[in-house]
Amino acid sequence: MLLRPGDVVAVEEPGYPPARRLFTSLGVRVTGVPVDAEGLVVPELPDRAKLVYVTPSHQFPLGRVMSLARRQELLEWAGSRPVAIVEDDYDSEFRFSARPLEPLCTLDRGGRVLYVGTFSKSMVPAMRTGFVLAPPGLRPALVAARQLSDAHGQTAVQAALARFIEEGLFARHVRRAGREYQDRHARVTAALGRIPALDVIPTAAGLHVTAMLRPGLDSSRIAAAARRDGVAVEELAAYAEQPSRTASGLVVGFGAVDPELIEEGLALLGRTIA
Ligand SMILES: Cc1ncc(COP(=O)(O)O)c(C=O)c1O
C-alpha cells in the first residue's frame, strides 16, 4: 500500500528472508542494513528509504533486543522523512524475562509505525492469522487494500480465535506453552554453552537461539554433518543477503523439538564440530 516500484526499503541484515522476498516481489529496491549489539545501525539507513522493516523485540535471527536509545534514534531519524516503519513483533508472547521495552509503536509520536504480530508462534503457523496496528490515518487505505486483495480474512477462524481470547483460554495457553518453551530455551542455551567452539547470543524470548562459531569454522559443513546425524540446525548465513560478509553462526530452533532429545542432540552437534 505504501510502496511503488523503484522505492527503497531497508531490512535488517541478517534478517527475515520472507520479508525481504515479499518486498522484492513488489519491485522495490531492498537494502540490507547491519545490526549491532543494540539493534539496527541507524546511520547506515539509506537516506531515501520509504519503509524500514525491523524486529526490535527479538531481532530475527540474532535474538538481541533493540535498546531504548536505538529505538529513539530510529524514530528521530524517521521524524521528518516520508517513511513508514514496520515493527514485526512475531514472538513476544514468549518472553522469559522481566518487562519488555516499550515497542516502537508506543514510543512513536509521528504516526510512522505499523506494528504487526502473528498467531503463528503463539498458536500454529497453519492458522495463517496475524494482525496489524496501524496509525489511524492509514486504516481506511489498509481496509481498502485488504478488500481488494481477497475481500477479507478467514472469518470463521477469526471468530473462533476471538472467542478463545475472550474466554481467557488464549492467555492460559500462552502461559502454559511459555513454561514449556522456557524450559526448552534454558536447555538449548545451556547445551550450546557447553560447546567450546560456540558463543551463544544471550536471549530471553522466542523459539530459537543463535550461537556464533569461532572464526575458521565452516557453518555449512557443520550444519550438513549435523543434519546427517538427525540434528537440524540452520546456518546463520541462510538469513543473510550477503552470506560471505556475515559472521559464521548457527540458528537452533526448538519450537517443535522433544525436550528430552535436546541435550543428546546438541551433544552430538558438539562432537560434530569438534
Ligand atoms: C521474523 C518473523 N516474522 C513473522 C513470522 C510469522 O510469519 P507468518 O505470520 O506469516 O507465519 C515469523 C515466523 O517464523 C518470523 O520469524
pLDDT, tens digit, for every residue of 20-57? 999 999 999 999 999 999 999 999 999 999 999 999 99
pLDDT tens, residue by residue, 93-144 = 999 987 789 999 999 999 999 999 999 999 999 999 999 999 999 999 999 9
Q: Tell me the three state secondary structure of residue 68.
A: helix
Cβ–Cβ < 8 Å for 197, 273? yes
Q: Which residue has the cell 515493527?
A: 87
**What are the residue boundaries of the structural domains of the chain, listed by start?**
8-165, 173-273
Q: What is the pLDDT of residues 26-36, one digit of tens each?
A: 999 999 999 99
CATH assignment of 173-273? Answer: 3.90.1150.10
Count each helix (H run) and each strand (E run) in the chain, helices first.
Answer: 8, 11
DSSP designation for 66: P
234 lines ligand 1 (CB under 6 A): no
Q: Can you read off the three cell numbers belonging to residue 17?
A: 528472508
How many other C-beta atoms can be found within 10 angstroms of the C-beta atom of residue 129?
17
β pairing state of 130-133 and 29-36 = unpaired
Compute the distance from residue 91 Cα to the ligand 1 centre, in Å.
8
What spacing in Å lies between the alpha carbon of 196 and ligand 1's midpoint? 31
CATH value of 8-165 in 3.40.640.10, 1.10.760.10, 3.30.420.40, 2.40.50.100: 3.40.640.10
Q: Enumerate the β-bridge partners of residue 53.
A: 11, 86
pTM for this predicted structure: 0.95
